Structure 1
C-alpha cells in the first residue's frame, strides 16, 4: 500500500511539473515582447506620427548603398509635383549612365543610347530593380548633372532635418566605383552615409509627401526594352517558394541596398488596417537575413502596439474647461480639442497618456483673460499629449517631440455693448474706490 501511495505521489508531482513547464513555455507563434535584431543598426517607426517604437544604434553613420535612391526618388516626385517634369517627359542616355548600364559589375540592364525614355520608364528601373544607370539619367534630367543633383540631395536632407547624412552621388555606389565619373565637388573615394534614424526619416517624408511611391515599390514585375524588371524586395507577396519564408502581410515597399562596404540593408514599410510602420536594418549578414530581421521588427510593431484614439475631438480637461473673458456678454468661454488625438500605443499603456493645455499667451491679458469678441472655433492654444510611463517616448527628428492638436473656443462670445461696458467700468471704479477708502479707514485704527 505504501509503495502504491509513493507511486501515486511521484506521478502527481510529474504531472504538476509537466503542467507548469507547458504553462511557462510560449506556444508557437506567440507574439514577441522583447526584440533582438541581427543588424549593425536598426529602427522601427510609426509611419503616421514618426514615433520610434524600437531602435538599436540608430544614430550610427553607415553606407546605405541603394537606400540612397530614396532621396533621388523623392526629388523626382517633387519635380513632377512642381510641374518641372511629367511622367511622360522623355530624355536620352548620356555617356556616363550608358557606361554604368553596360558594365555587368553594376548589374546594369543595358540601356540604349539615341533612344527616348520616359520618366516613368526610368523611375520603374530605379525603384523596382534599383538600377543605377536609370537613376543617374533621372538626376541629369532634373539638375543637368549628377554633381548639381548631389547639391539638391544634401539641401533637401537639411530641409527635412535628417540628423546624420552625407550624399555624394545619386545611386548609393561608392565614388571609387564610379572612377572618373564621380560627381564634381565630392571626394573620389567618398561614400554616401546615413544613420538608420535618417533613413527612416527620409522614408517618412517619402511615404507621407508622395504616397504614389508605394505604387512603384510594390510593383513586382515590369519590363524595359523588352527585358524583365523583377523587384528585389522578397517580402512582397511572391508565389515563388524560395521567397515565401520572407513574405509579410501588408508589405509594399520600400528600398533594398547592398555594397561590400554597406553589407545588406533594407528600408521596409507595411500597412495593416490603419497602422503603418517603417523599418530600417543596416549591415546585416546576407540577402535573406535583412528581410528576416525586418520581419521581426514588423511583427514586434504590429503585435505590441495598437493605433488608439486616446482623446476624442471636443475633449475637455475637467478643471480647465473654461477661460475668463473680459469685455464680453459672457464672463467665460469653454475650450475644447479641435480634433482627436490618435497614437500608436504599447498594449496596456492607454491609461499612461494625458492631456496638458498650453494657452496662447499673446491672446491673454495680464489677468489671464481672453478679450471679446471670440468666435466659436478660434484657436486659443494647444492640447499636448503627455506620457507618464517609465520609458521615454522619442520621435524622429523634424517631426516634433509631442503630439498636439489645436485648443479652440467651443462657443461664440460677443462683445458687450457700450452701455454694459460703461456700467461695468463704473462698477469697477466704485468698487476700487470703496476698497481704497476701507483700507484708509482701517489704517487709521490699526
Structure 2
C-alpha cells in the first residue's frame, strides 16, 4: 500500500482534538468538474452517498413532479406493511377525476367513481407522471391529499431534510389544483427543496425499495390496454432504452416540469457495477429546449463514472506507526499502539491517489483518565478514538450528516493490569513525583 501523508493528533486533552474543517461547495480536487446548463446540479455515489459534484446543490428550488418519489416511497411502505396490495381497487374521487381531465398536464384519463387497480395507477405515476393517478393513490393511502402531505413531511424530516416546502403530492402549483390546496397555503405555493434534499429522497427510495426501478425503467406502456380509454404512456425520462437520449445503464428515476421549477430530473444509472444518482434543477424551461436536462445529466454521468475511481487509502489493522502510542496506566506495558479497525475506501477524482490522502487521529477523551492515559486492563481492538481522512486538505463531502470519512481507531494488542506491588510502586512514584514538582 502506498504511504499516506499523516497528520498526527496524539495529545491527551481537548485542546489537541482536530478542529472542524468547513466543507467546500465543490468537492475537493474536482476543478475539472463540468458546469452544466442548470441552476443546480449534483452527482452522488449511490453506495456511499459520497458527493462527486456540487453545483449550487444547497439552493432551494421547485422540484415539480420529482415530488412523486415521496408518494412512491410511502406506497412501497404500505405494500410492505401488508396494508394494501397491487391488486387493491382504488375508487376515483371527484378531485382525482378533475385533475385527470386537465390535458395541459401529464395525465391518463380516469373515470369518476370507477375503480382501477393500484398497480396500473402506480405505473401511470412512475412512467407518465400522471397527476390524477397520483392524487388517487394518495387518497387511497392516506385518506386525503393533505394527510398524505403530512406523511411526506414527516418522512423527509426523518431523513434529516429540514429545509423544504411541501404542499401537494403532484408537484404542481397549487393554482392547478382547482382550489384543493393544503390548509394554510396559497395558490401561489409550490413544492420546493434543494438538489441535496431531493437526492436524499432518491437515495432512500433506491436503497429501501430498489424494485422501483422495475417500473421507472419501462420506456413505454399502454394504460388501460384494450379499452376505449387506452393511451400510450411514453416515459418522460428520455435517457431510457429506445428513447431520444438513450444512455446504456440508465434505469430511472423521475422528471418534473413546471413554469416555476423549470425542467428538473433525478437520474440514476449503473456502469461497471457502480450506481450513481444525478440531479439537475432549473435546466431550462422544459419547452424551448426539451433536451437540456438530459444533455446536462449525460455530462454529469460521464463525470461521475469516468473521473472518479475507488481507492483503498488504509487497510484494516494498519498500525499508526507515526502516531505516539497511548500511555497505559497500571499496565504490564507502559503504552499501546493504535491501528485502524477497518479498511478505509473512498472514491477519488482523477489525478488524486491514495498517497494524496491525509489522515488525523483524534483520541476519545471519554476512554482516557484525567492524565490522558488508558487504564489497564486493555483488550486488543478496544476503541480509543477515530481516524479521519481527507484529500487536498479538505473533508470529503457526503449527502447525509453521518461521518463517512472516519473509521474507528483501536488498540493493537491487549495490555494486562500490573500486579499489586507494581501498582503500589507506581502510585508512590506518582505521589512523590508530584510533591517534588511542587517545590
TM-score, length basis structure 2: 0.81
Q: How many Å separate the matches in 2 of 1:69 and 1:270?
A: 19
Distance 1:149 1:439, change over 3 A: closer
2:405 is aligned, of 403, 406, 409, to 403
Correspondence 1:153 to 2:179: no
Aligned to 1:70: 69
Q: CA RMSD in A?
A: 2.9
Aligned to 2:384: 380
Aligned to 2:370: 366
Distance 1:250 1:315, change over 3 A: farther
Q: Deviations over 1:50-71 (max 9, x none)?
A: 3333233333332221111122
Aligned to 1:125: 124
Aligned to 2:238: 234
Correspondence 1:201 to 2:203: no
Distance 1:365 1:34, change over 3 A: closer
How far did 1:143 drift?
Answer: 1.8
Q: How many Å separate the matches in 1 of 2:214 and 2:298?
A: 21
How far did 1:202 drift?
Answer: 2.3
Any idea what SS the aligned residue of 2:177 has? Answer: helix
Asked if the contact 2:240–2:247 (Cα under 8 Å) also holds between the matched residues in 1, the reply is yes
Aligned to 1:177: 176
Aligned to 1:28: none
Q: How many Å separate the matches in 1 of 2:293 and 2:430?
A: 76
Structure of greater Rg: 1
Q: How many Å separate the matches in 2 of 1:80 and 1:354?
A: 46
How far did 1:323 drift?
Answer: 3.0
Asked if the contact 2:265–2:279 (Cα under 8 Å) also holds between the matched residues in 1, the reply is yes
Asked if the contact 1:385–1:402 (Cα under 8 Å) also holds between the matched residues in 2, the reply is no
Matches within 5 A, 1:16-415: 33-162=32-161, 164-226=163-225, 227=230, 228-238=232-242, 243=244, 246-285=245-284, 286-320=289-323, 322-350=325-353, 351-389=355-393, 393-396=396-399, 398-400=400-402, 403-414=405-416
Q: How many Å separate the matches in 2 of 1:288 and 1:207?
A: 25
How far did 1:88 drift?
Answer: 4.5
How far did 1:251 drift?
Answer: 1.4
Q: How many Å separate the matches in 1 of 2:174 and 2:324?
A: 60
Distance 1:270 1:399, change over 3 A: farther
Any idea what SS the aligned residue of 1:36 has? Answer: coil
Distance 1:433 1:155, change over 3 A: closer
Asked if the contact 1:50–1:399 (Cα under 8 Å) also holds between the matched residues in 2, the reply is no
Consecutive unaligned residues in structure 2, runs of 5 or more: 1-30
Asked if the contact 1:147–1:185 (Cα under 8 Å) also holds between the matched residues in 2, the reply is no
Aligned to 1:424: 422
Asked if the contact 2:328–2:335 (Cα under 8 Å) also holds between the matched residues in 1, the reply is yes
How far did 1:364 drift?
Answer: 1.1
Q: Deviations over 1:307-333 (max 9, x none)?
A: 222222222322237433334455444
Aligned to 2:6: none
Q: Deviations over 1:108-153 (max 9, x none)?
A: 2123455544443332221122111221122222221111111222
How far did 1:170 drift?
Answer: 0.4
Greater fraction helix:
1
Q: How many Å separate the matches in 2 of 1:297 and 1:140?
A: 36
Q: Deviations over 1:341-390 (max 9, x none)?
A: 2222111212221222222211111232223444444433222112234x
Q: How many Å separate the matches in 2 of 1:219 and 1:319?
A: 55
Q: How many Å separate the matches in 2 of 1:386 and 1:144?
A: 48
Consecutive unaligned residues in structure 1, runs of 5 or more: 1-31
Q: How many Å separate the matches in 1 of 2:101 and 2:159?
A: 35
Any idea what SS the aligned residue of 2:291 has? Answer: helix
Any idea what SS the aligned residue of 1:318 has? Answer: coil
Distance 1:437 1:369, change over 3 A: closer
Asked if the contact 1:256–1:265 (Cα under 8 Å) also holds between the matched residues in 2, the reply is yes
Q: How many Å separate the matches in 2 of 1:380 and 1:372?
A: 13
